[in-house]
Amino acid sequence: MAIFKASLGAGSFLRMPMIEPRSASTPAAHQQPVLVPIRSIGPDERERIAKHLLALDAHDRYLRFGYSASDEQIRRYVDGLDFERDELFGIYNRRLELIAMAHLAFAPEGQPNECAEFGVSVSKHARGRGYGARLFERAEVTARNADVRMLFIHALSENAAMLKIARKAGASVVRSGSESEAHLELPEPTLDSRMSEIALDHFAEIDFQLKTRAKQFWAFLAGLQEVRRGVQEARDKSSA
């Protein structure tokens, strides 16, 4: 935890960090920032990824992929994800549902590895909380520490939310008809940037484990309630 706090302190390269407000109804002066746990996604979570993407409506799929991807095309995309080469990040709710995810795609083997591409999707009910920007910041950390010098975003020009994230991060945006391309130059990695990535990964993993245990506990309680109801019903019948 000391490492984590240090990574967010004065002099850290992170812009004040990956946070969201607690409540829109709470006066700004009384709000305390809440760190958004962003966890690295592994190959054993393909089904979670598929479920998240398949829940996107036609317009959201169009903005995410640049075309109105069918269920079959999304399945092929998920099946083809290269977890050895690329990095995927996710934000989970208390039910361990994936509500926002980012794909940081590195260059294929044999090609210059100074560039990477960023893509993001956020479930409709989870928008307006800054999750897309937080995921972009998280991807910046990993890309920088992987010696990437240029982070690209390829998006439709009508994807205002994505382009806003890019511009706010300081990226240059070039529009060409219906498509736009943004690129952000990244500085060289430092000890601070590497320690920040370690701390953020650690925090996200702890959060995920706590949510997992809480879900298991509530499932246990639900099962216990079912048993109690069954016993009570049996007693009621025997006494009738």
Over residues 25-51, the pLDDT tens digits come to 545 444 445 678 899 999 999 999 999
End-to-end CA distance of the chain: 60
How is 138-154 classified by DSSP, letter by letter? HHHHHHHHTT--EEEEE
Q: β-strand 172-176 against 150-156: which pairing, if any?
A: unpaired
**Residue 219 or 69, more confident:** 69
8 pLDDT exceeds 70? no
Amino acid letter, 214:
A
Predicted pLDDT at 227:
61
Number of structural domains found in the chain: 1
234 pLDDT exceeds 70? no
pTM score > 0.75 for this model?
Answer: no
Q: What is the mean pLDDT of residues 104-129?
A: 90
Q: What number of H helices and E strands is found in the chain? A: 7, 9
- Tell me, what CATH number does 27's domain have? 3.40.630.30
Strands lying side by side in the sheet with 172-176: 39-40, 87-92, 98-106, 115-122, 150-156, 179-185, 172-176
Q: What is the mean pLDDT of residues 107-131?
A: 90
Predicted pLDDT at 175:
86
Domain that holds residue 22: 2-239
Amino acid letter, 50:
A
Q: What is the mean pLDDT of residues 188-204?
A: 79
Sign of CA dihedral 159, 131, 86, 190: positive
Predicted pLDDT at 218:
65
